[in-house]
Amino acid sequence: MAEDTTLEKTPTWAVATVCLFLILISIFIEHLLHLLSQYFNKKKRKALFQALNKIKSELMVLGFMSLLLVVSEKSIAKICIPISYAQSFLPCTGISSTDFDEEEAKCEQQGKASLLSRKGVRQLQYLIFVLACFHSLSCVLTFSLGMAKMRKWESWEAETRTLQYQFSNDPRRFRLIHETSFGKRHLRFWSEHRLLRFPATFLRQFYNSVSKVDYFTLRHGFLMAHFGEGSNFDFQKFIKRALEEDFGVVVGTSPWTWMFAILFMFFNAHGFHNYLWLPFIPLLKLLIVGTKLQSIITRMCIERDENSHLVIRGNVLVTPSDHFFWFFSPKLLLHLLHLILFQNSFQLAFFTWTWYKFGMRSCFHRNTEDIVIRIRE
Protein backbone atom coordinates (compact mmCIF):
# COMPACT_ATOMS: atom_id res chain seq x y z
CA MET A 1 0.00 0.00 0.00
CA ALA A 2 1.36 3.39 -0.98
CA GLU A 3 2.31 5.53 1.98
CA ASP A 4 0.36 8.77 2.37
CA THR A 5 2.34 11.99 2.19
CA THR A 6 2.95 13.45 5.65
CA LEU A 7 3.17 17.12 6.62
CA GLU A 8 6.94 16.81 6.57
CA LYS A 9 6.74 16.53 2.76
CA THR A 10 3.82 18.94 2.22
CA PRO A 11 4.36 22.59 1.16
CA THR A 12 3.76 25.00 4.02
CA TRP A 13 1.57 27.19 1.78
CA ALA A 14 -0.78 24.24 1.24
CA VAL A 15 -1.10 23.60 4.97
CA ALA A 16 -1.64 27.31 5.68
CA THR A 17 -4.28 27.59 2.94
CA VAL A 18 -6.31 24.65 4.25
CA CYS A 19 -6.10 25.98 7.81
CA LEU A 20 -7.18 29.44 6.63
CA PHE A 21 -10.32 28.10 4.99
CA LEU A 22 -11.18 25.97 8.02
CA ILE A 23 -10.76 28.95 10.34
CA LEU A 24 -12.85 31.23 8.11
CA ILE A 25 -15.69 28.71 7.91
CA SER A 26 -15.61 28.14 11.67
CA ILE A 27 -15.64 31.88 12.41
CA PHE A 28 -18.53 32.40 9.99
CA ILE A 29 -20.64 29.67 11.62
CA GLU A 30 -19.78 30.90 15.11
CA HIS A 31 -20.75 34.46 14.13
CA LEU A 32 -24.10 33.30 12.74
CA LEU A 33 -24.88 31.43 15.95
CA HIS A 34 -23.87 34.48 17.97
CA LEU A 35 -26.20 36.73 15.94
CA LEU A 36 -29.00 34.23 16.38
CA SER A 37 -28.43 34.17 20.14
CA GLN A 38 -28.51 37.97 20.26
CA TYR A 39 -31.76 37.99 18.29
CA PHE A 40 -33.42 35.56 20.70
CA ASN A 41 -32.25 37.62 23.67
CA LYS A 42 -33.52 40.83 22.09
CA LYS A 43 -36.93 39.29 21.41
CA LYS A 44 -36.95 37.70 24.89
CA ARG A 45 -37.31 34.21 23.43
CA LYS A 46 -35.72 32.48 26.39
CA ALA A 47 -36.84 28.98 25.40
CA LEU A 48 -35.37 29.28 21.91
CA PHE A 49 -32.16 30.70 23.35
CA GLN A 50 -31.84 27.68 25.62
CA ALA A 51 -32.64 25.33 22.71
CA LEU A 52 -29.91 26.97 20.64
CA ASN A 53 -27.43 26.51 23.46
CA LYS A 54 -28.45 22.87 23.72
CA ILE A 55 -27.86 22.36 20.00
CA LYS A 56 -24.44 24.00 20.28
CA SER A 57 -23.53 21.80 23.23
CA GLU A 58 -24.57 18.68 21.31
CA LEU A 59 -22.46 19.76 18.35
CA MET A 60 -19.57 20.22 20.76
CA VAL A 61 -20.10 16.68 22.09
CA LEU A 62 -20.09 15.28 18.56
CA GLY A 63 -16.98 17.29 17.75
CA PHE A 64 -15.26 16.00 20.87
CA MET A 65 -16.18 12.42 19.89
CA SER A 66 -14.59 13.00 16.48
CA LEU A 67 -11.48 14.47 18.12
CA LEU A 68 -11.18 11.45 20.40
CA LEU A 69 -11.32 9.18 17.37
CA VAL A 70 -8.52 11.16 15.73
CA VAL A 71 -6.32 10.96 18.83
CA SER A 72 -7.03 7.28 19.53
CA GLU A 73 -7.08 6.12 15.91
CA LYS A 74 -3.76 4.32 16.13
CA SER A 75 -4.45 2.88 19.59
CA ILE A 76 -7.79 1.43 18.49
CA ALA A 77 -6.19 -0.21 15.46
CA LYS A 78 -3.61 -1.88 17.75
CA ILE A 79 -6.33 -3.78 19.62
CA CYS A 80 -6.32 -7.31 18.22
CA ILE A 81 -9.26 -9.70 18.38
CA PRO A 82 -9.68 -13.34 17.24
CA ILE A 83 -10.44 -13.86 13.55
CA SER A 84 -13.72 -15.60 14.39
CA TYR A 85 -14.93 -12.47 16.17
CA ALA A 86 -13.83 -10.25 13.31
CA GLN A 87 -15.81 -12.34 10.80
CA SER A 88 -19.07 -12.21 12.77
CA PHE A 89 -21.90 -9.64 12.51
CA LEU A 90 -20.61 -8.26 9.22
CA PRO A 91 -22.83 -5.73 7.40
CA CYS A 92 -21.53 -7.07 4.07
CA THR A 93 -20.63 -10.63 3.15
CA GLY A 94 -18.03 -11.85 0.71
CA ILE A 95 -15.86 -8.72 0.99
CA SER A 96 -12.26 -8.83 2.13
CA SER A 97 -9.45 -6.31 2.16
CA THR A 98 -5.91 -6.94 0.95
CA ASP A 99 -4.52 -3.60 2.11
CA PHE A 100 -3.31 -3.48 5.70
CA ASP A 101 -1.79 -0.63 7.65
CA GLU A 102 1.06 -1.20 10.10
CA GLU A 103 -1.18 -1.94 13.10
CA GLU A 104 -3.39 -4.36 11.14
CA ALA A 105 -0.30 -6.15 9.83
CA LYS A 106 0.91 -6.74 13.37
CA CYS A 107 -2.45 -8.30 14.29
CA GLU A 108 -2.30 -10.37 11.09
CA GLN A 109 1.08 -11.74 12.12
CA GLN A 110 -0.48 -12.88 15.41
CA GLY A 111 -3.27 -14.67 13.58
CA LYS A 112 -5.76 -12.06 14.71
CA ALA A 113 -7.56 -9.04 13.31
CA SER A 114 -7.68 -5.39 14.30
CA LEU A 115 -10.72 -4.30 16.34
CA LEU A 116 -11.23 -1.31 14.05
CA SER A 117 -8.84 -0.32 11.30
CA ARG A 118 -7.55 3.21 10.97
CA LYS A 119 -9.50 3.52 7.74
CA GLY A 120 -12.63 2.40 9.58
CA VAL A 121 -12.04 5.00 12.28
CA ARG A 122 -11.79 7.74 9.65
CA GLN A 123 -15.01 6.52 8.03
CA LEU A 124 -16.70 6.64 11.43
CA GLN A 125 -15.62 10.28 11.74
CA TYR A 126 -17.52 10.99 8.52
CA LEU A 127 -20.64 9.44 10.07
CA ILE A 128 -20.36 11.68 13.14
CA PHE A 129 -20.04 14.78 10.95
CA VAL A 130 -23.04 13.82 8.80
CA LEU A 131 -25.08 13.05 11.93
CA ALA A 132 -24.30 16.51 13.36
CA CYS A 133 -25.47 18.16 10.14
CA PHE A 134 -28.67 16.15 9.81
CA HIS A 135 -29.61 16.46 13.47
CA SER A 136 -29.23 20.25 13.36
CA LEU A 137 -31.22 20.50 10.12
CA SER A 138 -34.00 18.25 11.41
CA CYS A 139 -34.35 20.35 14.57
CA VAL A 140 -34.67 23.54 12.51
CA LEU A 141 -37.10 21.87 10.10
CA THR A 142 -39.26 20.54 12.95
CA PHE A 143 -39.56 23.96 14.54
CA SER A 144 -40.26 25.62 11.18
CA LEU A 145 -43.06 23.17 10.40
CA GLY A 146 -44.56 23.77 13.84
CA MET A 147 -44.55 27.53 13.29
CA ALA A 148 -46.04 27.08 9.79
CA LYS A 149 -48.84 24.96 11.28
CA MET A 150 -49.64 27.65 13.83
CA ARG A 151 -49.90 30.37 11.19
CA LYS A 152 -53.08 28.62 10.10
CA TRP A 153 -54.36 28.95 13.65
CA GLU A 154 -53.83 32.73 13.65
CA SER A 155 -56.92 33.19 11.47
CA TRP A 156 -58.87 30.96 13.89
CA GLU A 157 -57.70 33.08 16.80
CA ALA A 158 -58.81 36.23 14.99
CA GLU A 159 -62.22 34.62 14.44
CA THR A 160 -62.75 34.35 18.21
CA ARG A 161 -62.96 38.15 18.34
CA THR A 162 -65.83 38.36 15.85
CA LEU A 163 -69.47 38.92 16.82
CA GLN A 164 -70.50 35.72 15.06
CA TYR A 165 -68.20 33.62 17.28
CA GLN A 166 -69.32 35.39 20.45
CA PHE A 167 -72.98 34.89 19.53
CA SER A 168 -72.59 31.19 18.72
CA ASN A 169 -70.73 30.64 22.02
CA ASP A 170 -72.90 32.86 24.20
CA PRO A 171 -72.73 31.35 27.74
CA ARG A 172 -76.44 32.19 28.22
CA ARG A 173 -77.45 29.72 25.53
CA PHE A 174 -78.38 26.17 26.50
CA ARG A 175 -77.70 23.40 24.00
CA LEU A 176 -77.51 19.66 23.80
CA ILE A 177 -73.87 18.58 23.68
CA HIS A 178 -74.60 16.31 20.70
CA GLU A 179 -75.79 19.37 18.75
CA THR A 180 -72.49 21.24 19.11
CA SER A 181 -69.83 20.99 16.41
CA PHE A 182 -67.43 19.43 18.90
CA GLY A 183 -70.00 16.84 19.92
CA LYS A 184 -70.89 16.01 16.32
CA ARG A 185 -67.20 15.45 15.55
CA HIS A 186 -66.38 13.18 18.49
CA LEU A 187 -69.60 11.66 19.82
CA ARG A 188 -70.11 9.04 17.12
CA PHE A 189 -71.20 5.43 17.22
CA TRP A 190 -67.56 4.38 17.59
CA SER A 191 -66.61 6.75 20.41
CA GLU A 192 -68.15 4.64 23.20
CA HIS A 193 -66.36 1.44 22.19
CA ARG A 194 -62.62 1.26 22.70
CA LEU A 195 -62.08 -1.31 19.95
CA LEU A 196 -63.81 0.95 17.44
CA ARG A 197 -62.34 4.17 18.78
CA PHE A 198 -58.75 3.10 18.16
CA PRO A 199 -59.01 2.64 14.35
CA ALA A 200 -61.13 5.79 14.05
CA THR A 201 -58.62 7.96 15.89
CA PHE A 202 -55.78 6.23 14.03
CA LEU A 203 -57.24 7.27 10.66
CA ARG A 204 -58.21 10.76 11.84
CA GLN A 205 -54.57 11.80 12.33
CA PHE A 206 -54.01 11.62 8.55
CA TYR A 207 -56.55 14.32 7.69
CA ASN A 208 -57.46 17.51 9.50
CA SER A 209 -55.60 16.37 12.62
CA VAL A 210 -56.28 19.70 14.36
CA SER A 211 -59.70 20.95 13.29
CA LYS A 212 -61.07 24.41 13.94
CA VAL A 213 -63.70 23.10 16.35
CA ASP A 214 -61.05 21.22 18.35
CA TYR A 215 -58.93 24.37 18.54
CA PHE A 216 -61.86 26.47 19.74
CA THR A 217 -62.91 23.90 22.35
CA LEU A 218 -59.44 23.34 23.78
CA ARG A 219 -58.85 27.09 23.82
CA HIS A 220 -62.12 27.65 25.67
CA GLY A 221 -61.27 24.93 28.21
CA PHE A 222 -57.84 26.46 28.87
CA LEU A 223 -59.20 30.00 29.33
CA MET A 224 -62.00 28.88 31.64
CA ALA A 225 -59.59 26.83 33.75
CA HIS A 226 -57.09 29.67 34.22
CA PHE A 227 -58.84 33.01 33.62
CA GLY A 228 -62.61 32.64 33.54
CA GLU A 229 -65.29 33.87 31.17
CA GLY A 230 -64.63 36.92 28.96
CA SER A 231 -60.83 36.87 29.22
CA ASN A 232 -58.77 38.68 26.56
CA PHE A 233 -55.78 36.40 27.06
CA ASP A 234 -53.67 35.98 23.89
CA PHE A 235 -53.92 32.22 23.48
CA GLN A 236 -51.98 32.26 20.20
CA LYS A 237 -48.99 33.85 21.89
CA PHE A 238 -49.21 31.28 24.68
CA ILE A 239 -49.07 28.26 22.37
CA LYS A 240 -46.14 29.79 20.49
CA ARG A 241 -44.24 30.03 23.76
CA ALA A 242 -45.32 26.48 24.59
CA LEU A 243 -43.94 25.30 21.24
CA GLU A 244 -40.63 26.98 21.97
CA GLU A 245 -40.39 25.34 25.39
CA ASP A 246 -41.30 21.92 23.98
CA PHE A 247 -38.77 22.44 21.21
CA GLY A 248 -36.13 22.87 23.89
CA VAL A 249 -36.99 19.37 25.11
CA VAL A 250 -37.00 17.55 21.77
CA VAL A 251 -33.69 18.98 20.52
CA GLY A 252 -30.38 17.63 21.65
CA THR A 253 -29.61 14.08 22.65
CA SER A 254 -30.01 11.88 25.70
CA PRO A 255 -28.70 8.49 26.87
CA TRP A 256 -31.77 6.85 25.28
CA THR A 257 -31.08 8.39 21.89
CA TRP A 258 -27.45 7.30 21.98
CA MET A 259 -28.58 3.81 22.99
CA PHE A 260 -30.71 3.70 19.84
CA ALA A 261 -27.69 4.75 17.74
CA ILE A 262 -25.63 1.91 19.22
CA LEU A 263 -28.39 -0.65 18.66
CA PHE A 264 -28.94 0.61 15.11
CA MET A 265 -25.28 0.05 14.23
CA PHE A 266 -25.27 -3.33 16.01
CA PHE A 267 -28.32 -4.63 14.13
CA ASN A 268 -26.88 -3.43 10.84
CA ALA A 269 -25.29 -6.87 10.43
CA HIS A 270 -26.25 -8.78 7.30
CA GLY A 271 -28.12 -11.59 9.04
CA PHE A 272 -30.59 -9.33 10.88
CA HIS A 273 -32.19 -7.94 7.68
CA ASN A 274 -32.64 -4.70 9.55
CA TYR A 275 -33.83 -2.79 6.48
CA LEU A 276 -37.09 -4.74 6.68
CA TRP A 277 -38.01 -3.67 10.23
CA LEU A 278 -35.63 -1.18 11.84
CA PRO A 279 -36.59 1.84 9.67
CA PHE A 280 -40.25 1.32 10.56
CA ILE A 281 -39.76 1.75 14.32
CA PRO A 282 -39.86 5.60 14.27
CA LEU A 283 -42.88 5.52 11.94
CA LEU A 284 -44.72 3.10 14.21
CA LYS A 285 -44.04 5.22 17.28
CA LEU A 286 -45.14 8.37 15.45
CA LEU A 287 -48.43 6.73 14.45
CA ILE A 288 -49.00 5.57 18.02
CA VAL A 289 -48.37 9.07 19.40
CA GLY A 290 -50.69 10.63 16.80
CA THR A 291 -53.41 8.11 17.60
CA LYS A 292 -53.04 8.77 21.32
CA LEU A 293 -53.39 12.53 20.88
CA GLN A 294 -56.55 12.11 18.80
CA SER A 295 -57.91 9.67 21.36
CA ILE A 296 -57.30 12.15 24.19
CA ILE A 297 -59.46 14.81 22.53
CA THR A 298 -62.26 12.30 21.95
CA ARG A 299 -62.08 11.03 25.53
CA MET A 300 -62.33 14.58 26.87
CA CYS A 301 -65.51 15.03 24.87
CA ILE A 302 -66.92 11.72 26.14
CA GLU A 303 -66.08 12.62 29.72
CA ARG A 304 -67.81 15.98 29.35
CA ASP A 305 -70.84 14.26 27.85
CA GLU A 306 -71.06 11.89 30.81
CA ASN A 307 -70.83 14.72 33.36
CA SER A 308 -73.07 17.32 31.69
CA HIS A 309 -76.35 15.39 31.56
CA LEU A 310 -76.53 16.15 27.81
CA VAL A 311 -77.22 19.92 28.28
CA ILE A 312 -74.44 22.54 28.31
CA ARG A 313 -74.18 26.32 28.47
CA GLY A 314 -72.41 28.07 25.62
CA ASN A 315 -69.49 26.07 24.26
CA VAL A 316 -68.41 22.59 25.37
CA LEU A 317 -66.15 22.93 28.41
CA VAL A 318 -63.51 20.18 28.39
CA THR A 319 -61.22 19.57 31.34
CA PRO A 320 -57.64 18.56 30.39
CA SER A 321 -56.08 16.15 32.85
CA ASP A 322 -52.97 13.99 33.17
CA HIS A 323 -55.10 10.85 33.53
CA PHE A 324 -55.72 10.90 29.78
CA PHE A 325 -52.02 10.22 29.15
CA TRP A 326 -49.95 7.05 29.50
CA PHE A 327 -48.85 6.59 33.10
CA PHE A 328 -50.42 10.01 33.89
CA SER A 329 -47.41 11.68 32.28
CA PRO A 330 -47.85 14.12 29.34
CA LYS A 331 -44.06 14.51 29.18
CA LEU A 332 -43.78 10.89 28.08
CA LEU A 333 -45.27 11.81 24.70
CA LEU A 334 -42.80 14.66 24.42
CA HIS A 335 -39.86 12.38 25.11
CA LEU A 336 -41.16 9.90 22.52
CA LEU A 337 -41.24 12.71 19.96
CA HIS A 338 -37.68 13.55 20.99
CA LEU A 339 -36.58 9.98 20.33
CA ILE A 340 -38.45 9.87 17.00
CA LEU A 341 -36.74 13.06 15.85
CA PHE A 342 -33.29 11.68 16.65
CA GLN A 343 -34.05 8.31 15.05
CA ASN A 344 -35.11 9.93 11.80
CA SER A 345 -32.03 12.15 11.83
CA PHE A 346 -29.73 9.22 12.50
CA GLN A 347 -31.24 7.01 9.80
CA LEU A 348 -31.04 9.75 7.18
CA ALA A 349 -27.46 10.50 8.25
CA PHE A 350 -26.56 6.81 8.05
CA PHE A 351 -28.09 6.50 4.58
CA THR A 352 -26.26 9.60 3.35
CA TRP A 353 -22.98 8.39 4.86
CA THR A 354 -23.19 4.94 3.26
CA TRP A 355 -24.17 6.51 -0.06
CA TYR A 356 -21.21 8.90 0.00
CA LYS A 357 -18.59 6.46 1.26
CA PHE A 358 -19.66 3.21 -0.38
CA GLY A 359 -21.95 4.19 -3.27
CA MET A 360 -25.66 3.96 -3.88
CA ARG A 361 -25.58 0.26 -4.73
CA SER A 362 -23.39 -0.89 -1.86
CA CYS A 363 -24.16 -3.86 0.34
CA PHE A 364 -25.93 -1.50 2.75
CA HIS A 365 -28.75 -1.07 0.24
CA ARG A 366 -28.42 -3.42 -2.71
CA ASN A 367 -32.02 -3.27 -3.89
CA THR A 368 -34.18 -0.33 -4.89
CA GLU A 369 -36.66 -1.33 -2.17
CA ASP A 370 -33.95 -0.83 0.46
CA ILE A 371 -33.28 2.72 -0.76
CA VAL A 372 -36.98 3.62 -0.90
CA ILE A 373 -37.57 2.33 2.64
CA ARG A 374 -34.58 4.24 4.03
CA ILE A 375 -35.62 7.54 2.45
CA ARG A 376 -39.37 7.31 3.13
CA GLU A 377 -38.86 6.49 6.80
User: Residue 339: how many CB atoms within 10 A of its CB?
Assistant: 19
pLDDT in tens, 307-325: 766 677 767 788 878 888 8
Task: Go through 61-72 and write b for each residue having 16 or more CB atoms within 10 A of its CB, e for each that does not.
Answer: ebeeebeebeee
Q: What percent of the chain has pLDDT over 70?
A: 91
Q: Which of 54, 44, 56, 55 is nearest to 241 (CA)?
A: 44
pLDDT in tens, 90-107: 887 666 555 566 667 788
Residue 2 pLDDT exceeds 50: no
Residue 24 pLDDT exceeds 50: yes
**Largest pairwise CA distance in the chain:** 91
Q: What is the pLDDT of residue 1?
A: 43
pLDDT in tens, 230-282: 677 888 888 888 888 888 777 777 788 888 888 888 888 877 877 778 778 88
